Chains A and B, each alone.
Chain A
Amino acid sequence: MNDMTPDREERKANLKGMGCARKRVEDARFTQGKGNYVDDISLPGMLHGDFVRSPYAHARVKSINIDAAMALDGVVAVLTAKDLEPLSLHWMPTLAGDKQMVLADGKVLFQGQEVAFVVAKDRYIAADAVELVEVEYEELPVIVDPFKSLESDVVLREDLDPSADGAHGPRKHPNHIFLWEVGDKGATEAVLDEADVVAEETVYYHRTHPCPLEPCGSVASMDKVNGKLTLYGTFQAPHVVRTVASLLSGIEEHNIRVVSPDIGGGFGNKVGVYPGYVCSIVASIVTGVPVKWVEDRMENLMSTAFARDYHMHGKISATKEGKITGLWCHTTADHGAFDACADPTKYPAGFMSICTGSYDIPVAYLGVDGVYTNKAPGGVAYRCSFRVTEAAYFIERMIEVLAIELNMDAAELRRINFIKKDQFPYNSALGWEYDSGDYHTAWDKALEAVDYDGLRKEQAERVEAFKRGETRKLMGVGLTFFTEIVGAGPVKNCDILGMGMFDSCEIRIHPTGSAIARLGTISQGQGHATTFAQIIASEIGIPADSITIEEGDTDTAPYGLGTYGSRSTPVAGAATAMAGRKIKAKAQMIAAYLLEVHDDDVEFDVDRFAVKGAPERFKTMKDIAYAAYNQAIPGVEPGLEAVSYYDPPNMTYPFGAYICVMDVDVDTGTTDIRQFYALDDCGTRINPMVIEGQVHGGLTEALAIAMGQEIAYDEMGNCKTATLMDFFIPTAWETPHYTTDHTTTPSPHHPIGAKGVGESPNVGGVPAFSNAVHDAFRAFGLRQSHMPHDHWRIWKTANDLGLHG
């Protein structure tokens, strides 16, 4: 007879499984300065690489003279395109089916482009040598405007046959990349023609940059004795990097080990493959010793992947009662010098087609033209799932504009158009199947929490007071209801460079009942080592504290597509649950054998299998693990481990309601965020503490983007925002206090019902902040102004509306 204490609830609590605000296991090393980031890696004999970069946005490279640099004591090599050409590494494929120069091959196409790679004994000598490389340029006309680019005689990409199709079909101009169309254009236009009301507006989502606090870098170590290449780097997708490195270098994939150590934030910046990674590999192959490359902040902002830069022209139609009848959007997408967008192959504009948002819109059309300009390449999902932020910003602005057109309250307009709870799974006009949602409940909860009617009353009084000259501050109420599409994705639809976007988890239970699990993802601060252990704890009844989670070493972890697009929980989290269930199934057989009953006569109970109807007869997971390794069980292999590669049947669709209350000083353009309420529904909640932290962080990135952060260029293609003086990252002082809340609508197709949350606050936050600015001026006739809403742009809005007297 087993002892029945502790009781069930106590045993559950001991596991620290799903739903528990478990403290993070990562924190001990980070708080003591014992993280291991790429620049912390130091290998014997390691050399340092540094780039000569182009000061021009568009120029022909007439000559490169490396003599003086090579003559400097301590310089080991200076690589140019000519050196890479025999290896076919002077260009490399991008994630979007285009190709990109690794080092300038004949011309440069954006300021900061990599021209030569200096390798030296230390970073100081390398920096000196960079100054000594003489490059002769002949300046060419610069194009920074995508609309002008499509009309220009200046051909940016001379390497491409102008008449040949691109990776995504026909090109209509040498500077055109693709036209991607979704939905029914004819039917949509017919609806717009007949509609009671049509609101039309251009919504520009400006160019910005993920700017993680740790910049990008790599350490390549080619061991010529055993033919193995080890590559450490800031990789959000280490396994894909291994495959790409193998395809590019010709080194067989088993001879390449890619390691993502601790990563100091990614936010999409560390998804792509950059020339620095390639050059560090080549330099290590050439020199036979390890080579480190770590970019500085200016290089990060000027050359690694930007985000957004979508000019979205929209039309939305409705009945006079406000029922939306159709949505039309044409986007001109500025991709910069090379199409290096990080999107699943079949989606050149990512999931922009989620732009019907949370609304039941019967017919819609989306067309996206991708265009080359003399700007840095990229187009990554900066804390979002492949252009979902652009889509959410577009629809949430169009809803506000429609509300103005209809002279309706924007909260009410949203409510009458929401997809209803009983419509899920819902098929959108642009082809997505939304898995689950309860938008009305979330919206009502949010409006009540902020006393929406009271806010509107206060706002109306403020407008009157302003008109009477009693105040110079207006008040904005920024509403947003967003639906995300994350967890890419079903392999049948989604791949990156041909790799299906599944993910994986391998769990090994040790004889004494503790465990290690390895995943194909990689945390950049999300706390995977904490939360994935919680999933396993709940699934198989081993305490989370007894489970080690490992990611990022391709020699040990199962293949996976990595961490971005909020895909870790929806995909790798599902794989974790599924691997756990495989273990549980075997554990059940072992337990039944030990308890001398039939497999079907035992049932799982928190941390054990017990005989049905006789809960005092049980075997804990610890007992079972021990038996799995120490006892011959007929018909059952020894050991207790499992691996799962999970191909999700669908995306998940987290959603949320955000409300921002802001005071706007019309005379200075400054703002004061008085209140920010964020309700998120990410399905099943694994760790509420981590979720709340993700929401705070995502909202603050949204605040930055909406209120000041941009990558701006002058007419000559000079980047004007390349340091943290000008590239806006708010400090604790400018950041408001947030109130978080939630509803829970599990995903019906995910093994544990979780949907992912990391990017929701950025997706929903940007329109919430922006709508608050717009709403402050609604009473004075503002329809649309452009982000970022920094002081001078807000001031200009007020000035254009005649509010400065």
Chain B
Amino acid sequence: MIPASFEYYRPDNIAAALAVLEEHGDDARVIAGGHSLIPMMKLRMADVPHLIDLQDVKDLRGIKVAGGTVTIGAMVTQAELISSQDIAQAAPIMHEAALQIADPQVRYMGTVGGNIANGDPGNDLPGLMQCLDATLTVVGPNGERDIAAREFYEAAYMTAREDDEILTKVSFAATEGGYAYEKQKRKIGDYATAAASVLLTKEGSTVSTASIAMTNLSDVPVFSEEAGAALQGSSCDTDAVKAAVAAMLEDIEPNEDNRGPVEFKRHVAGVILSRAIERAWSRA
């Protein structure tokens, strides 16, 4: 498995990266950790004549928690997420999810930005971004703009980011209450058969807010507003969980693959979500 030839650029600032993108248009792509892109290039399923390596762009690094907002640079690796005390405190669901991505070596290289921007429905962080209602910041020739994560994904590998834009950071409000990232997979290193992100807050014995998103169950990550709504105001009892699952099932559209047929995935999606809600509630 040998990739086709390409020209390599390693800019140390965003403007320089954008300039290469502008010059080569569709023929240029940015590379972050490369663990999705390089295998595709090696299989010659991705043709990238101009490859722009973002590792030296310092502005894309760093995790910041300030004023209740968590901001993560696009080039922050999954390993950095896992070892970050800030993340563990401000968004423990992200710590939990990051541990379930791929394997240790891949997590050293794999980045937040790559995982989110690639648009692969199998990736874990896009679903999590839905759940967190994150804001994705991209920068392009016309400057910077924010896109709501819930508006970002259009189809598999198709996102609201234009080809000449680069994802620079993600931000979201520090989480409160209970959380869970529940993922069923065939083995370590696999994409999810079904995964659920759940954030819950509690007032007394009832659910005050609930946010629910699903991974790898459609060609885009699925934010299920209705599923969250089904829990709000309930005591997170069996009926409420069932209603949330039913609402979620209205929103997903899984495809058959080697992990199993649609009927199975829908069933497992329900089970995984119930378990995620249960775990999140126990932590709320």
Mark contacts of A119-138 with chain B using CB atoms, 8 A cut-off: 1 yes-contact digit, 0 otherwise.
00001101110010000000
Complex alpha-carbon distance, A734 and B264, angstroms: 21
Q: Would you call A791 and B193 a contact (CB within 8 A)?
A: yes
Q: Tell me the chain B residues, 1-41 only, with Cβ under 8 Å from chain A.
A: 1-2, 4-5
Q: What residues on A are CB-neighbors of B271 within 8 Å?
A: 667-668
Complex alpha-carbon distance, A799 and B270, angstroms: 15
Q: Would you call B184 and A792 a contact (CB within 8 A)?
A: no
Does B272 count as interface, using CB distance less than 8 angstroms?
A: yes
Q: What residues on B are CB-neighbors of A126 within 8 Å?
A: 2
Q: Would you call A708 and B186 a contact (CB within 8 A)?
A: yes
Mark contacts of A680-703 with chain B using CB atoms, 8 A cut-off: 1 yes-contact digit, 0 otherwise.
000000000000000000000000
Q: Would you call A668 and B4 a contact (CB within 8 A)?
A: no
A791 touching B190 in the complex, CB below 8 Å, given contacts A124-B2, A667-B267: no
Complex alpha-carbon distance, A481 and B189, angstroms: 34
Complex alpha-carbon distance, A721 and B272, angstroms: 26
Q: Tell me the chain B residues, 178-237 only, with Cβ under 8 Å from chain A.
A: 184, 186-191, 193
**How far apart are A123's CB and chain B's nearest CB, in angstroms?**
6
Mark contacts of A714-728 with chain B using CB atoms, 8 A cut-off: 1 yes-contact digit, 0 otherwise.
000000110011101
Q: Which of B111-119, B149-157, B163-171, B253-261 contacts A (4 or more CB under 8 A)?
A: B253-261
Q: What residues on A are CB-neighbors of B243 within 8 Å?
A: none
Does A106 count as interface, using CB distance less than 8 angstroms?
A: no
A733 touching B267 in the complex, CB below 8 Å, given contacts A123-B2, A298-B1, A712-B258: no
**Residue on A nearest B259 in the bound complex, by CB:** A792
How many B residues touch the partner, as a band? 20 to 34
Does A151 count as interface, using CB distance less than 8 angstroms?
A: no
Q: Would you call B44 and A792 a contact (CB within 8 A)?
A: no
Does B239 count as interface, using CB distance less than 8 angstroms?
A: no
Does B162 count as interface, using CB distance less than 8 angstroms?
A: no
Does B59 count as interface, using CB distance less than 8 angstroms?
A: no
Q: Would you call A791 and B188 a contact (CB within 8 A)?
A: no
Does A796 count as interface, using CB distance less than 8 angstroms?
A: yes
**Residue on A nearest B272 in the bound complex, by CB:** A668
Q: What residues on B are CB-neighbors of A296 within 8 Å?
A: 1
**How far apart are B265's CB and chain A's nearest CB, in angstroms?**
8
Complex alpha-carbon distance, A729 and B186, angstroms: 10
Q: What residues on A are CB-neighbors of B158 within 8 Å?
A: none
With beta carbons under 8 angstroms apart, the residue of B4, B5, B190 that contacts A725 is B190
Q: Would you call A791 and B187 a contact (CB within 8 A)?
A: no
Complex alpha-carbon distance, A305 and B61, angstroms: 47
A127, A296, A668, A670: which has the most chain B beta carbons within 10 Å?
Answer: A668
Does A790 count as interface, using CB distance less than 8 angstroms?
A: yes
Does A804 count as interface, using CB distance less than 8 angstroms?
A: yes
Q: What residues on B are CB-neighbors of A733 within 8 Å?
A: 187-188
With beta carbons under 8 angstroms apart, the residue of B2, B4, B260 that contacts A791 is B260
Q: What residues on A are CB-neighbors of B190 within 8 Å?
A: 725
With beta carbons under 8 angstroms apart, the residue of A298, A724, A792 that contacts B261 is A792
Complex alpha-carbon distance, A729 and B188, angstroms: 10
Q: What residues on B are CB-neighbors of A670 within 8 Å?
A: 184
Complex alpha-carbon distance, A669 and B194, angstroms: 13
Q: What residues on A are CB-neighbors of B264 within 8 Å?
A: 669, 791-792, 795-796, 799
**How far apart are B252's CB and chain A's nearest CB, in angstroms?**
16
**How far apart are B23's CB and chain A's nearest CB, in angstroms?**
25
Q: What residues on A are CB-neighbors of B189 within 8 Å?
A: 724-725, 731
Mark contacts of A760-795 with chain B using CB atoms, 8 A cut-off: 1 yes-contact digit, 0 otherwise.
000000000000000000000000000000111001
Q: Would you call A791 and B261 a contact (CB within 8 A)?
A: no
**How far apart are A118's CB and chain B's nearest CB, in angstroms?**
12
A668 touching B187 in the complex, CB below 8 Å, given contacts A298-B1, A721-B258: no
Q: What residues on A are CB-neighbors of B44 within 8 Å?
A: 131
With beta carbons under 8 angstroms apart, the residue of A131, A728, A799 that contacts B186 is A728
Q: What residues on A are CB-neighbors of B272 within 8 Å?
A: 668
With beta carbons under 8 angstroms apart, the residue of B1, B103, B268 that contacts A668 is B268
Complex alpha-carbon distance, A80 and B261, angstroms: 41
B2, B5, B268: which has the most chain A beta carbons within 10 Å?
Answer: B2
Q: Would you call A128 and B4 a contact (CB within 8 A)?
A: yes
A795 touching B260 in the complex, CB below 8 Å, given contacts A131-B44, A725-B190: yes
Does A730 count as interface, using CB distance less than 8 angstroms?
A: yes
**How far apart are A672's CB and chain B's nearest CB, in angstroms?**
13
With beta carbons under 8 angstroms apart, the residue of B1, B191, B258 that contacts A720 is B258
A contacts with B: majority SS: loop
Q: What residues on A are CB-neighbors of B193 within 8 Å?
A: 791-792
Q: What residues on B are CB-neighbors of A790 within 8 Å?
A: 186, 260
Complex alpha-carbon distance, A546 and B188, angstroms: 44
Complex alpha-carbon distance, A796 and B260, angstroms: 10
**How far apart are B151's CB and chain A's nearest CB, in angstroms?**
30
Q: Tell me the chain B residues, 88-118 only, with Cβ under 8 Å from chain A.
A: 103
**Residue on A nearest B103 in the bound complex, by CB:** A731
Q: What residues on A are CB-neighbors of B259 within 8 Å?
A: 791-792
Q: What residues on B are CB-neighbors of A795 within 8 Å?
A: 260, 264, 267-268
**Residue on B nearest A50 in the bound complex, by CB:** B2
A668 touching B184 in the complex, CB below 8 Å, given contacts A298-B1, A795-B267, A795-B268: yes
**Residue on A nearest B122 in the bound complex, by CB:** A725
**How far apart are B214's CB and chain A's nearest CB, in angstroms?**
15
Complex alpha-carbon distance, A667 and B205, angstroms: 28
**How far apart are B121's CB and chain A's nearest CB, in angstroms?**
14
Q: What residues on A are CB-neighbors of B2 within 8 Å?
A: 123-124, 126-128
Complex alpha-carbon distance, A127 and B2, angstroms: 6
Q: What residues on B are CB-neighbors of A730 within 8 Å?
A: 187
Q: Would you call B103 and A791 a contact (CB within 8 A)?
A: no
Complex alpha-carbon distance, A720 and B190, angstroms: 15
Complex alpha-carbon distance, A128 and B188, angstroms: 33
Complex alpha-carbon distance, A726 and B258, angstroms: 7
**How far apart are A511's CB and chain B's nearest CB, in angstroms?**
51
Complex alpha-carbon distance, A25 and B271, angstroms: 51
**How far apart are B55's CB and chain A's nearest CB, in angstroms?**
23
Q: What residues on A are CB-neighbors of B187 within 8 Å?
A: 708, 728-731, 733-734
**How far apart are B54's CB and chain A's nearest CB, in angstroms?**
25
Complex alpha-carbon distance, A668 and B184, angstroms: 8
Q: What residues on B are CB-neighbors of A712 within 8 Å?
A: 258
**Residue on B nearest A131 in the bound complex, by CB:** B44
Complex alpha-carbon distance, A724 and B4, angstroms: 22
A804 touching B267 in the complex, CB below 8 Å, given contacts A127-B2, A792-B261: yes
**Residue on B nearest A666 in the bound complex, by CB:** B271
**How far apart are B9's CB and chain A's nearest CB, in angstroms?**
20
Complex alpha-carbon distance, A728 and B193, angstroms: 14
**How far apart are A786's CB and chain B's nearest CB, in angstroms?**
14
Mark contacts of B264-284 with chain A using CB atoms, 8 A cut-off: 1 yes-contact digit, 0 otherwise.
100110011000000000000
Mark contacts of A344-385 with chain B using CB atoms, 8 A cut-off: 1 yes-contact digit, 0 otherwise.
000000000000000000000000000000000000000000
**How far apart are B259's CB and chain A's nearest CB, in angstroms?**
7
**How far apart are A733's CB and chain B's nearest CB, in angstroms?**
5
Q: What residues on A are CB-neighbors of B267 within 8 Å?
A: 667, 795, 799, 804
Q: What residues on B are CB-neighbors of A297 within 8 Å?
A: 1
Q: What residues on B are CB-neighbors of A728 within 8 Å?
A: 186-187
Complex alpha-carbon distance, A791 and B184, angstroms: 10
**Residue on B nearest A792 in the bound complex, by CB:** B260
**Residue on A nearest B187 in the bound complex, by CB:** A734
Complex alpha-carbon distance, A582 and B188, angstroms: 53
Q: What residues on A are CB-neighbors of B184 within 8 Å?
A: 668, 670, 791
Complex alpha-carbon distance, A725 and B190, angstroms: 6
Complex alpha-carbon distance, A526 and B271, angstroms: 44
**How far apart are A267's CB and chain B's nearest CB, in angstroms?**
19
**Residue on A nearest B2 in the bound complex, by CB:** A127
Q: What residues on B are CB-neighbors of A796 within 8 Å?
A: 264
8 A-B residue pairs with CB within 8 Å: A128-B2, A668-B184, A712-B258, A720-B258, A731-B187, A733-B188, A791-B184, A792-B259
Identify 5 new A-B residue pairs, CB closer than 8 A, beyond the known A128-B4, A733-B188, A792-B259.
A708-B187, A790-B186, A791-B264, A792-B264, A795-B267
10 tightest A-B CB contacts, nearest first: A792-B260, A127-B2, A792-B264, A667-B271, A731-B188, A726-B258, A733-B188, A296-B1, A734-B187, A795-B264
